Amino acid sequence: MSQKVLAFEQKTLTGHITVPGDKSISHRAVMFGSLAEGKTKITNFLAGEDCLSTIAAFQAMGVSIKREDNTVLVESEGVNGLKEPDQPINLGNSGTTARLLMGILAGLPFHFTLYGDDSLSKRPMDRIAHPLREMGAKIDGREHGRLLPIAIRGGQLLPIDFKPNVKSAQVKSGVLLAGLLTDGVTTVEEVTKTRDHTENMLKAFGANINVEGAKVKITGNKNLTGCDIEVPGDISSAAFFLVAAAITEGSHVTIENVGLNPTRTGIIDVLNMMDVSIDVMKKRTIGGEPIGDITVRASKPKATVIEGDIIPRIIDEIPIIALLATQATGQTLIKDAEELRFKETDRIESVVHTLSKLGATITGTKDGMIIEGNTKLHGGVTNSFGDHRIGMMIAVASLLTDEKVELHDDECIAISYPTFFEDLHSLLSN
């Protein structure tokens, strides 16, 4: 297991950076390009480990995918050109690959076996397996298909009207992709609208899809056509530097070309709620996705209550928001976030454990955390638990300590942000 000693003499961050391409959009661009006929060119692709797992999965099914740095060219004959892989498919650590891919494979006339690393093998897959079985898919695995490895015997599916009982864009997307391969109309109706990259991008590829608020309808057996996709910067990755600038004295950071999809901008709302100095500039739209530049200055944040419909819009940012709350005035309450227990780690437990070791006063609850502010953090020995977002949270926390912080298993950060430490050092050296 790798380890990194974090000890920074310079604590102030200044300058401009761009963050890697959006992970959610990068995954989907490869998947939809593989299902489409013709060529799909993807620029600013996130070459992180999770997205590379998606590329490998479709290469195993015969799709031509070539990558040069952050540009990916997909050439496919469409759904009918996909082939049965001759080996089980390794999904690595990627829950997005697993759940969306299950929806696609359920509609293909082949047999598939999916497996992943230790972390992914503990994450629940029954939430997508259940609706796929209702559509006619044959799925089995550990604990009756709840856990990987999972075997899928795909084939003819029936459309479904589905109301998810979890707030998960992965589940919604998996069912919509299965619906793409059926005869008829499949409907997914959410209680709270989750990130809508699947809906936006399927339209760009020519799918017959209709969105009415939190209800999405897709008409199946419509051929997709390859197109060019420019991936915006990932706001979930940007969040770590937005918070770092807010809580370190004298900092002033601008992150350029960040995705501003309304289903993903909850971090901006939270920073505003906590009185952080933040500006969004140069708003524009590229490939159906809004983008812009975000500037944050050192601030004196105030505690708040974070709950309800905003939670799906910040589900990946809650670890770094928890760190922000340790520096806010007052007590911050995060609730309605039980979904955190089913991420790369149990993120409620891992955030509470980690920040407590660094001196925070934080208590975990069934669905969130209670965090006391104005807390002086100190150094210590920490572990990312193999979770990239916990690893990056620890790195930002080390900017607040006088002592060194030892981070074990820092390599997992490459899952979503391979150049994280390079960008951190560039902002500290200005």
> Whole-angstrom Cα distance, residue 324 to residue 374?
10
User: Does 149 sit behind a cis peptide bond, omega within 30 degrees of 0 on the bond before it?
Assistant: yes
Please name the residues in contact with 375: beta carbons below 8 A apart, sequence gap of 6 or more: 326, 327, 359, 360, 361
Q: Tell me whether residue 180 is exposed, middle or buried, using C-beta atoms within 10 angstroms of its C-beta: 0 to 12, 13 to 18, 19 or more.
A: buried
Token pair listed for 192 = 């709270």
Q: What are phi and psi of 346, to 5 degrees?
A: -75, 95
How far, in whole angstroms, is CA 17 from its chain's centroid?
Answer: 20
Please name the residues in contact with 18: beta carbons below 8 A apart, sequence gap of 6 or more: 233, 255, 256, 257
Residue-wise DSSP of 36-88: SEEEEEEES---SHHHHHHHHHHHTTT-EEEEETTEEEEEEE-GGG----SSP
Picking from 128, 76, 85, the residue whose alpha carbon sits closest to that of residue 108 is 85
Picking from 16, 19, 15, 17, the residue whose alpha carbon sits closest to that of residue 231 is 19
Query: Given strand 305-306, what is the order of strands in its sheet?
Result: 305-306, 331-334, 368-372, 362-365
316 is a catalytic site residue: yes
**Per annotation, catalytic residue among 22, 196, 316, 423:** 316
- Strands, E assignment, 298-367: 305-306, 331-334, 362-365
> Whole-angstrom Cα distance, residue 317 to residue 315?
6
Residues recognised as catalytic = 316
